[in-house]
Amino acid sequence: MPTTSARLLALLSLLQARRDWPGDLLARRLEVSSRTVRRDIDRLRELGYPIAAFKGPDGGYRLEAGAELPPLLFDDEQAVALAVALRIAATATGAGIEEAAARALTTVRQVMPARLRRRIDTLGITAVDGPAHRPGSPVDPAVLTALGAAVHAREILRFDHAAPPGAGAGDAPVPASGPVPPRRVEPHHLVARAGRWYLVAWDLDRTDWRIFRADRISPRTPTGPRFAPRELPGGSVAAFVTGRFRGGDGTGDWPCRGEVILGLPAAEVAPYAGDGIVEEAGPHRCRLVLGSWSWTGLAAAFARFDAAIDVVGPPELAAAFARLAQRCADAARTGDGPAGRG
C-alpha cells in the first residue's frame, strides 16, 4: 500500500480529473477501503481543499472552489506551462500585474524539482505588445525549450525553416539542386507577441537581424559554438520587434505585402486596417497597404472591405486575386446547385 502522503496526492489528482467521483470507485482506483477514502477526504479538507460529499445510489465526492487557496498539485507539464505564463505576464506591460506575476513565478520556482527549474531557467521569454490576439499554429513545447536553451547558452543554432504557404521563395534562396541548407543564426531572444512565438536572431549567412516564427522552426542538433551577444538595434527587444513589424510602412516583416486603392474613405477603413497604412486617395477613395503570410491571405484581407479594389502591386497580389475570384465563383456555383437552392 502506498504511503499516506502519496495516497493523498493520488486522491487529489483523481478529484481534479473529473467533477464527481463515487466513493466505491475511488476506493477501487486507489486499492483501499471506503473507510480509508473517507479518512483521506477528511485529511484533505483539513489542508484547505473544499471537498463536498453528495448523496445518492453512487454517493461520493466533488472538489469545489473554495474561499482560500490551498496547496496546488501540478504534473510536470502543467508546472512548466504555469511558469511560462507567469514569465510572460511578468514581462508584459500595461496589465498592472507584472510585479505580482514575478513574485508568483519565484514562489512556483522554489517548490519545483531541479529538473523543472532547469527547464524554466533556460526559457527566457520577452512579451511584446502587438495587435489583437490572432490564432497561430501550435508550437511544440520541445521546440520552445530548444530555442530557449540556445538563447540562454548563447550558442549558434541551426534549424530548418518552413516557408509560409503561398509566399514563394521568400528570402531563403533555394539551390538549383540538392536540399535546402539549414539557417545558421545567433539566437538572442524568444518573443511572445499577439498569440504567436518568434525567435529574434542574427542570421550568419545574411549578416542581418531576422525574426523567425517558432512554429516554422525545426531545430537541428547539436548546437554550434558560443558567441558574443550583439547589440540589438532599437535599444530593446520590444522596440526592435515592434519596429520590424511596422517596418516603416505598416507591414513589417510580412513575407507578402501589397497595395491597393479602395473605393472607401480612409476614415472608414482605418479602424479595421490593423498595422496597415491608410491614406486618402481622392473623394471616397483611399490607398491601403497591408501585409500577410500568404498572397491569397493578403487578397482575402483586402477583399473583406465591401468596396471596389484597384491593385497597385505587386503582380503576385493580382494573381492571388484571380485565384481567389475563381474559388469564389466555384463556391457560388456549388451553392446554386440543387442542395444550395434548398
Q: Which three cell numbers stand for residue 276?
A: 496597415
Indicate the pTM of the whole model: 0.51
Nearest to 164 by CA among 302, 263, 295: 295
Sites in the chain below the pLDDT cut of 50: 1, 67, 132-133, 165-177, 248-252, 339-342
Domain count, the chain: 4
User: Where residue 27 sits, what CATH number does that domain have?
Assistant: 1.10.10.10
**Same domain, yes or no, for 24 and 88?**
no
**Same domain, yes or no, for 52 and 108?**
no
Question: Per-residue pLDDT tens for 128-147?
Answer: 665 544 555 678 878 888 89
Residues 204-238, buried b or exposed e (16+ Cβ, 10 A)? beeeebbbbbbbbbebeeebeeebeeeebeeeebb
**Same domain, yes or no, for 38 and 81?**
no
Domain boundary (246, 281, 300) is at: 246
Answer whether residue 187 is part of any domain.
yes
Answer whether residue 341 is part of any domain.
no
| Percent of the chain residues past pLDDT 90, beyond the cut | 18
pLDDT at site 330: 87
**Domain containing 283: what range?**
256-335
